Amino acid sequence: MKRWLIDSDVLIEGERGNPAFAQWLKTPGEYATADIIRAEFLLGVHAVPDPAKRQRGDQFYRDRIAPIPAFPNEAADYETAARMAGEARRIGRGKPSLADALLGAIALRTGATVATQNLKDFAAMGIAAENPLVVKALL
C-alpha cells in the first residue's frame, strides 16, 4: 500500500468539491498530512473575505482534514528542509517554500509520497511526489 503525505493544494481541491479528491481517498493506501499543512490550509480559510466561504472552509477542515492523521515532524526535519529548499533555490531548480520543504523532509523520513499539484518544487528537492487528482488514461 502506498503511503501518502497530503499537501495543502490537494486539500484545497477537496474543499472546492473536486470529485477526483473524494475518489482518490477511496483508493487503498495510508493517508496522512502534517501540522504545517493543517496550519497552511487554515491560514487560507481565515484570509478569505467572504464569511460564507470561510464557514465552508472551516467546516471542511473539521469534517475532512482534522480526522486525517498527521505524521509528526522531528527537530532534524527543519535542518533537512532548509538544506533541501536552499539547494534547490541556489541551483535554480525551483523555489520551494519552507512549508513545502518541511513536508518534503517528513516524506523523506517516513518513506511517503507527497500528494501535491506542485510537482516542480518537490522534484527540485528530490522528493517523491505525485498529483493524485490527475486521471490517468488507460493504455
- Structural domains counted in the chain: 1
Task: Give this prediction's pTM.
Answer: 0.93
Is the residue at 12 inside a domain? yes
Is the residue at 139 inside a domain? no
Is the residue at 136 inside a domain? no
Alpha carbon distance 81, 59 (integer Å): 31
Q: What is the number of other CB atoms lying within 10 angstroms of the CB of residue 100?
A: 30
Over residues 7-56, the pLDDT tens digits come to: 999 999 999 999 999 999 999 999 999 999 999 999 999 999 999 999 99
Is the residue at 135 inside a domain? no
Over residues 88-120, the pLDDT tens digits come to: 999 998 899 999 999 999 999 999 999 999 999
Is the residue at 138 inside a domain? no
Domain with 26 in it: 3-130
Is the residue at 67 inside a domain? yes
Is the residue at 137 inside a domain? no
Is the residue at 112 inside a domain? yes
Dihedral, CA of residue 106, residue 109, residue 113 and residue 118, to nearest 10:
40
